[in-house]
Amino acid sequence: MWKSDHIETNTIHGGKTSQGEFGPLSTPIYQTSTFVFDSVQQGADRFAGESQGHIYSRLGNPTVDELEARMALLEGTEAAAAFGSGMGAVSASVLGLLKQGDHMVTSHRLYGCTFALFNHQLPAFGIEVSFVDLSDEAAVRGALKPNTKVIYGETPINPCLSVIDLDMIAAIAKPRGITTIIDNTFMSPVLQQPAKHGIDIILHSATKFLNGHGDVVAGILCGPKEMMDHIKMTTRKDMGAIISPHDAWLIIRGLKTLHLRVERHNQNALSLATYLSEHPLVAKVDYPGLPGHPGYKLLGKQMRGGGGVLAFEMKGTFDQAVAFMNQLQMCKRAVSLGDAETLIQHPASMTHSTYEPEELAAAGIPRTLIRLAAGLEHVDDIIADLEQALSAASAGEAAA
C-alpha cells in the first residue's frame, strides 16, 4: 500500500487495496449483496471471526474497504467506517459510545439534524446532553460531569463558521478518558486533520467535499481501530446505515481531485468573503480566513485555510434577504456544500429549521443570515451574480 508525506499524492494513490483479478487502474465496484463460501466451515469461520473474508455487504465489502482505508490514511487514523449518510455516521458514533445514564457535552451551534438528534432523540434513550460554547474553555470545563463520556463538536461550525481549538478540547478530554468526536466536513483532511491535535474520532458528511459532485449521500468516521471495529459491529451492523458499493466508488473517484477542488473552493470563498465584507448591504461576514474572524488565529496552527464555506448577515429585513436569494441566477438555492456549483441557502428556514426561535437566538443564527458554499466557477462570475441580486434586493426594498 502506497503512503506519501504529501496529501496530494495520497488522495490519488494512498490506501489503494483492491487491484482486482485483472489489475484495473480504477477500483472495481463489488456490486454484490452477499459472498459465496467455499464450504460450510469457511462460512462458520468467517461468522466467528476466525478467518478473513467477506460475508454480506452490510458487514463489509471490498469497495467500501478501500474507501475506508483511503480515508483513514488521509485523516491519519488507524481505521475508518463508511455509512449511508452523514447522519448515519453521527448516530452510529454517539449511540455506539453512549448508554443510558451517560452524559455528552456538545456545541450550542450544530447542523440542524445533529442538533435535533442530540436535543430530542438522545434524551429519550436516557442520555444527557449539555449544549455549550465549545470555543470557551471555561464553559467546556464547567459542563463536565463525572458521567461525561463524549465531547462532540464541529469546526468550523455550521452555519456560523465559529472555530473550536482542537488542542484545547483534547487537553480537557484525554486526562478524563472522554472520547472526542469532531465533524471535519467543512475543512476536509486537505485543510485540517483533527487527529494530529489529539481528537479521537473524525466525522465527515462524505456527501460534501469528499465526493464533490453532488451525486452521493454518505458519511465517514475515522479513528482508532478498536473504536471503528466496535461501531461497525454494533450500531452500523444492527441499525443498518450502510453505504452502497457504488456510492463508495463514487467517493473514491472524487478523492482523486479533492486537493485541487478544495484549493479552488478555498480561494473563491476568501475572495467572496472579502467582497461581501466591503458591501454596503452586508452587516457581517463570518469566514475564518478573514483577519477579523476569531478563528483566524488558528490558521497555520490548526487549519491550512479558511475553507470553502462562509456566512453573512444582510442589513435590513428577512424579506430583503429572501428577495436577494430569489434574485440569484447562477448561484443555486440548495443546501449542501463542496459541489462544483456555488450553493446558497437560508439556515433559519432550511438546514436549521429544527431549531425553535429561541434556540436560533441562543445559537446566534439570525433570520437574515445566509450561508454560501463557494463553487468552482470563476470567482468574477460568482461576484457578478451576487452583485446583481444585492442591487435588485436593495432597489426592491427602496421601492417598497
Catalytic residues: 58, 111, 183, 208
3 state DSSP class of 180: strand
Q: How far is CA 42 from CA 35, 45, 65, 229, 262, in A?
A: 12, 5, 20, 21, 45
Are 184 and 205 in contact by the 8 Å Cβ rule? The answer is no
Sheet strands side by side (includes 79-83):
79-83, 219-223, 201-205, 179-183, 148-154, 103-107, 128-132
Q: What share of the chain is helix, strand, coil (3-state, %, to 5)?
A: 45, 15, 40
Q: Please name which of 192, 213, 153, 160 lies closest in space to residue 74, comparing C-alpha atoms.
A: 192
Question: From the centroid of its chain, how far is CA 185?
Answer: 2
Question: Which residue matches cell numbers 456544500?
Answer: 337
The residue length of the chain stands at 400
Sheet strands side by side (includes 332-333):
282-286, 309-314, 369-373, 343-345, 332-333
Q: Please name which of 215, 200, 204, 212 lies closest in space to residue 86, comparing C-alpha atoms.
A: 204
The CB-side HSE value for 342 (13 A sphere, CA atoms) comes to 25
DSSP state of 134: T
